[in-house]
Amino acid sequence: MVDTAAHDRILILDFGSQVTQLIARRVREGGVYSEIWPYDRADTAALAGFAPRGIILSGGPASVTGSATPRAPDAVFAAGVPVLGICYGQQTMCHQLGGRVEGDDHREFGRAEVSVTADARLFGADWPVGGRQTVWMSHGDRVVALPDGFRTIAVSDGAPFAAIADEARGFYGVQFHPEVAHTPGGRALLQRFTHEICGCRGDWTMAQFRSEAVAAIRRQVGGDRVILGLSGGVDSAVAAVLLHEAIGAQLTCIFVDHGLLRDGEAAQVVDLFRGHYNIPLVHIDATDRFLDLLAGVDDPETKRKRIGATFIEVFDGEAAKIGGVRFLAQGTLYPDVIESVSVVGGPSVTIKSHHNVGGLPERMNLALVEPLRELFKDEVRALGRELGLPDDMIGRHPFPGPGLAIRIPGEVTADKLAILRKADRIYLEELRTAGLYDEIWQAFAVLLPVRTVGVMGDSRSYDYVCALRAVTSTDGMTADFYPLPHDLLGRIATRIVNQVAGINRVVYDVTAKPPGTIEWE
């Protein structure tokens, strides 16, 4: 792991907000390394060990007015570094330092306007006195009396203390959420906090990370051999190229091609990694094996389980053939390792763990190398660009492990896969031509196990229905359908029906998640 202590660091204490990760991403976009900890982990020793340049207290769903709700450890206010409280963070800071917070009838949710009433280092020239700023609010409680030393620097209709400051101690609080895109001036505000007030240098860049990660991988791996499963996705691709830069031929990539990838993807993986980067690559074309085990199976869970178990079996078999392997590399990202806080119903901490090839490290007695563990997805993409990976691989939409099998409801056959691949290729091509691909979180075609009647030329057709899906999302947990222009949808439908034998009707999925899911199975 990269030694982040060499960088100026900001600590974010999580009180359970839905958008805590956005705070960390915004801070890092400003070139400052930040970590998210559960709020109660920041005792004196832990803070001294981490030595943050500043601390940000996140929002959260609880009410400070409740007796058993979370509080920032006292060590936070005694650490001698600036503190920024956001929403619940502002309220608990006020409450703990001697102010007062009350429940309120005048709730503010969504867009609001704040007026800047006084000069403050937090605002600088970006938020001038007398100006109004659009912000995003989400609060029921509000601060009604300030602790000693604080003054008001901005107000809104629902929050007389929309922003507050104790400049002597470097303590600031904002009732709104500067981390979300709906607060247009929020990024500048967070950067003023991290750079001007905390004095961070902005030394966290992907160029810097690249050289530090290479050194860290060499330290961890020494002269031993490493294997890595390539999937065609951006995370494993970036991990592979970074590892190869660090340890060259000590890395072997294994690409289990289950025959459920999109058009041309398997060939691209082989060409890029073996051909362009010259990375030792074992390419197993296991298409027949996967199609055999999917024959006659139409239950979605059975399909998923069979694909998952066989994938591991094949990977395992190939890995065992490569002698002397000590490490398994994975493209685990920072969101996979953040300890999540559940504040409602009592603090409980769960740690998500992520194993792309579950069970393998233990079975083969392998240690893990996770060179992307400190990074968010947008940082992985920036690192990928830094490493020269092609744009179409870096910007690729997420793709599920079971691949096209879960986009063919019911039984999967070679014929259906061929039909779906053609339709999907046309769809994605049109989205790219229209310049919409990068605005969409995920877009794909689904081949429905339904035949309908159509008329083509002078004859009657009886073919499959193709459903198109395109969604916006930030994390795949919730999503909304993307409002594709009707003329574009019409063009795509015409091309698919004319050019893909086997499909005679195209429909567009306008379901949000929840209640729908992104995939159809």
Q: Please choose, out of 86-94, 340-348, 395-403, 449-457, the segment that lies near ligand XMP by the rule CB under 6 A.
A: 395-403
The binder of ligand XMP chosen from 85, 400, 469, 482 (CB under 6 A)? 400
How many residues form the binding site for ligand XMP (CB under 6 A)?
11
Nearest approach in angstroms of CB 371 to ligand XMP is 20
CB of 293 to ligand XMP, least distance (A): 16
Give strand pairing partners of 133. Answer: 114
Catalytic residue list: 87, 177, 179
Helices (H) and strands (E) in the chain, counts: 16, 22
Nearest to 447 by CA among 484, 417, 489: 417
In whole angstroms, the minimum distance from the beta carbon of 355 to ligand XMP comes to 12
Least Å from the CB of residue 313 to ligand XMP: 17
Site for ligand XMP in 249-268 (CB under 6 A): none
Q: Which stretch binds ligand XMP (CB under 6 A): 70-78, 198-206, 315-323, 394-402?
A: 394-402
Stretch that binds ligand XMP, among 61-69, 161-169, 217-225, 398-406 (CB under 6 A): 398-406
- Round to whole Å and give the CA distance between 264 and 257: 12
Q: Is 517 in the site for ligand XMP (CB under 6 A)?
A: yes
Among 442, 492, 505, 506, binds ligand XMP (CB under 6 A): 442
Output the smallest distance, CB 455 to ligand XMP, in A. 34
The alpha-carbon radius of gyration of the chain (Å, integer) is 26
304 in contact with ligand XMP (CB under 6 A): yes
Rounded alpha-carbon distances, angstroms, from residue 249 to 26, 240, 430: 37, 11, 39
Q: Does 476 bind ligand XMP (CB under 6 A)?
A: yes
Contact residue for ligand XMP among 398, 449, 485, 490 (CB under 6 A): 398
How buried is residue 353: exposed, middle or buried, by Cβ count under 10 Å (0-12/13-18/19+)? Answer: exposed
Q: What is the DSSP letter of 513?
A: B
Please, which residue, 335 or 347, has the CB nearer to ligand XMP?
335
> Cα–chain-centroid distance for residue 100?
36
518 near ligand XMP, rule: CB under 6 A: yes
185 binds ligand XMP (CB under 6 A): no
Report how far apart, in Å, the C-alpha atoms of 377 and of each of 25, 37, 329, 481 are.
10, 19, 17, 22
The CB-of-450 to ligand XMP minimum distance in angstroms stands at 20
- CA angle in degrees (0–180, nearest 5) for 85-90-93: 95
Q: Which residues pair with 166 in a beta bridge?
A: 171
* Interacting residues with ligand XMP between 319 and 378 (CB under 6 A): none
Q: What single DSSP character describes residue 222?
A: T
Nearest Cα neighbor of 191 from 244, 258, 123 is 123
Residue 265 in tokens: 């993807």
Residues that bind ligand XMP (CB under 6 A): 304, 398, 400-402, 442, 476, 513, 517-519
